[in-house]
A = this chain, B = another copy of it.
Amino acid sequence: MILASIEAGGTKFIASVGDEQIRIIDTLTVPTTKPEETMKPIIAFFNQYSIDAIGVGSFGPIDVNRNSETYGYITSTPKPFWKDFNFVGSLKTHFDVPIAWTTDVNAAGYAEYILGNAKGTQSCLYLTVGTGIGGGFINQGRMLNAYSHPEMGHLLIRRHPNDMYVGNCPFHKDCLEGMASGPAVEKRWGKKGIKLAERFEVWELEAYYLAQALVSYTLVLRPERIILGGGIMKQKQIFQLIRQQFGQLLNDYVAVLDLERYIQPVGLNDQAGIIGGFLLARKELTD
């Protein structure tokens, strides 16, 4: 069984070919320019193999509703050229194989659920905190998608009384993404996150916002585990700060596992997206 996986991000696409054991055979990285330009080398790359199924995790918003006329499309993205791109359709014209289609965060979350730090649980919330903030929820092997996929990065949160930063979300100004994404950290403190590692107050405030959001997700979704990924979460000291503030805010209102186990970093590092694509491709063949 030869599986193909695409992690379609806003700055680059990663395409990999692997086997049914999810061992990577080959990988290609292409910058995200225009749909035809970006897809062409990927299609040529996949054509070298006899592919049985493809799994795609894409930046969004995307249409994941199988009954919709625009299923498989990137929909209302502000990214030039990509709005209304028929992603699955463009693959289908070249590969007559099952194609799994979901968001980048759903794919990464699924990988963490099956093989990463949520392995062995029944449900997992995956949140990435990077250029944007996005999340996916997997419950008993199924990704949560209803009218559409979650957009949980834009949760409304309480500002810290001493925080004067206005927030940079173009839709909501001071939503979670507007206050706690990588670019928000950079604009508030005047330096990139990686350069702020020693500044305790930076991560204390970041934890203040993330802990609030995790309490809300916990109350609504009741995951067995929460996995946090993305560039900002490379500051490992933040995990303890989040757990502390989370514990205070939740105040034992609902039962969760002890917080060391409940709130964890990624287990698959930057490979979660690609591995998720393989797993979802394999699932298309075996379900």
Contact = CB atoms under 8 A, between A and B. Distances in A.
A227 to B, nearest CB: 14
A255 interface: yes
Copies of this polypeptide in the complex? 2
Contact of A139 (B144, B159, B219, B254): B144
Interface string A143-155: 0111111111111
A113 to B, nearest CB: 12
A125 to B, nearest CB: 9
Interface string A212-252: 10011101111110000000000000000000000001011
Contact of A251 (B61, B147, B172, B216): B172
B212 A156 contact: yes
A49 to B, nearest CB: 35
B224 A147 contact: yes
Interface string A109-137: 00000000000001100000000000101
A270 B156 CA distance: 32
Given A61-B254, A249-B156, A253-B151, A220 B222 contact: no
A222 B148 contact: yes
A221 B249 CA distance: 22
Interface in A57-77: 61, 76
A60 B135 CA distance: 28
Nearest to A215: B156
Contact of A171 (B151, B157, B221, B251): B251
A122 B139 contact: no
Contact of A156 (B158, B172, B222): B158
Given A122-B146, A156-B249, A158-B159, 11 more contacts: A123-B146, A123-B147, A137-B220, A139-B146, A147-B223, A148-B222, A151-B219, A172-B251, A172-B253, A216-B216, A220-B220
Interface of A: 61, 76, 122-123, 135, 137, 139-140, 144-159, 171-172, 212, 215-217, 219-224, 249, 251-256
